[in-house]
Amino acid sequence: MAEREEKKGVFWDVQAGRLPPPPAAVTLGWELIDVDTDAGTIEVGFTAGEQFLNPAGVVQGGFLAAMLDDTLGPALVATLPDGQFAPTLDLHVQYLRPALPGRLVGRGRIVQRGSRVCFLAGELLGPDGKPVAVATATAHIKSPPGQTG
C-alpha cells in the first residue's frame, strides 16, 4: 500500500482494527487490496458466495451494484480528513456479463473532486479477471453537523 503515516478517520480506523467493519462490508466479504490516496485509487476484493445467486445461478445484480458502491465510495473516503464522510448521491451501473460466484475485484478511482462534490468511476472484475460491471457515481463530501471542515 502507498500509505506511510498513520491516518485517522472511519476508513483508516476500520483498517487498523480500531473500529469494526461495517456490516454491509462484512456481508460482501470486503477486503482492501491496495489504496493510493495521492492518486485517488483503490482496489478491493469481495467474496460472492452461493447466497448471492439468482435463480439463473449467477450473482444477482443488486449485489454487484453494492460491491461497486463499496468500491467507489472508499476510493474517496480514504482521502478525507477525520470527521468527514461522503454519501453517494447517484450510482449508475452497467452490467457487462453474468458474474459467477467467487472472488470479485473492484477497482475505483476519483475522476474529479471539488470542495463538496466528487465524481467517481470503477469496474468490477469476475473470478476470471474479466469485467462484469462498470459504474460511475457522484458523492457529496460532508462534515458532521456543527463543523464546516
Q: What is the CATH number of the domain that holds 51?
A: 3.10.129.10
What value does the mean pLDDT take over residues 35-63?
97
Distant-in-sequence, close-in-space partners of 117: CB < 8 Å, separation ≥ 6 = 138, 139, 140, 141
User: What cell does 61 get?
Assistant: 445484480
Beta bridge partner(s), residue 122? 108, 135
**Using a CB cutoff of 8 Å and minimum separation of 24, what contacts does 12-16 make?**
12/78
| pTM > 0.85: yes or no | yes
What value does the mean pLDDT take over residues 72-83?
95
- 148 in a structural domain: no
The answer to whether residues 62 and 135 touch, using CB atoms and an 8 Å cutoff, is no
Whether 149 has a pLDDT exceeding 60, the answer reads: no
- 106 in a structural domain: yes
Q: How many domains does the chain fold into?
A: 1
What value does the mean pLDDT take over residues 126-148?
89
Residue-averaged pLDDT of the chain: 93
The answer to whether residues 2 and 41 touch, using CB atoms and an 8 Å cutoff, is no
- 39 in a structural domain: yes
- 40 in a structural domain: yes
Q: Which domain holds residue 88?
A: 10-140
- 123 in a structural domain: yes
Which pLDDT score is estimated for 3? 47
Residues 98-134 pLDDT 10s? 999 999 999 999 999 999 999 999 999 999 999 999 9
